Amino acid sequence: MSMHENPDTNAAPHAGMAGDTSIELGTKIVSSDGEHVGKVDSLVLDYNTREVQSIICRSGVLLTTDRIIPIGMVDKRDADGNLLLNISAAEVKKQQEFVEREFRTMSPDEVGPMPVTWATGTGQTPYYFYPATDSLGYRDDTPFFSNAPLAPPDVEVESNLPENATRLDSGSDVVGSDGKKLGTVEKVTYTKDGDITSFIVKAGFLFHHDIDIPSEWISSVSDDGVPLTVAADQAEATKGDA
């Protein structure tokens, strides 16, 4: 069954077919020349087709670097469970870095009262400055710490992934059709063409064993998580084999 077709909610769960590839989030990644180049931070899927397009390889500990590795560069898993690539460590460093930023756009009410000035001769858009401060850079008539707003501001996320891309990471929630959370994504199994066949949900507070979710039960995949077409209790009746 294609991922675009209406799913059969009574379909029996199944693990990946022989020859399919399973990727566990956090798995060590090894280059074709045997170097440890990072770990699997997340998977990038096409929002419309739900096909795995690439993996995000995270390297470093304190100062980390994320790189986008096309799924065609993933070879297989070795006997130790590491994910093997078909490119060298030097080629890995040439792959595009993944960049994601969070920002908040100011509301008209916030921008309105603020004075405006231009940097002389730049020809650029206006810079906005808050009212004058004292010598330390803070207003004399306001406390150093202010109360948090009653309603948190809307935060937008911008990345250099394609517009139709979405990410699955270890924090992606899996929720039944009844609104109950089953847990978070731990492992994804896909075909050589990138089609997801199943994924393993890590045991959480509600359920105490891993759950094997077939692709037929996936309603959609987005940055907000993975909603299912079946209730949590039906999904919980299966057990993962990872």
Residue 90, pLDDT > 90, answer yes
CA 103 centroid distance within chain: 17
State the pLDDT at residue 206: 59
Structural domains in the chain?
Answer: 21-101+163-236 (2.30.30.240)
Residue 9, pLDDT > 80, answer no
Does 153 or 95 have the greater pLDDT score? 95
State the pLDDT at residue 65: 92
> What whole-number percentage of the chain has pLDDT above 70?
64
pLDDT averaged over every residue in the chain:
75
Mean per-residue pLDDT, 100-118: 59
Mean per-residue pLDDT, 34-39: 95
List, in sequence order, every beta strand (DSSP E) within the chain. 21-24, 28-30, 36-46, 52-59, 65-70, 74-77, 83-85, 100-103, 116-117, 127-128, 156-159, 165-169, 173-175, 181-190, 196-203, 211-214, 226-227
DSSP annotation string for 103-160: E-PPPHHHHTTS-EE--TT---PPEE-PSP--TTSS-TTS-SS-PPPSSPPP-EEEES
> pTM of whole model > 0.85?
no
Residue 58, pLDDT > 50, answer yes
- What SS3 state is found at 12? coil
State the pLDDT at residue 18: 46
Report residue 224's pLDDT band, with 50, 70 and 90 as the boundaries.
confident
148-174 per-position pLDDT tens digit = 555 656 656 677 888 888 888 888 888
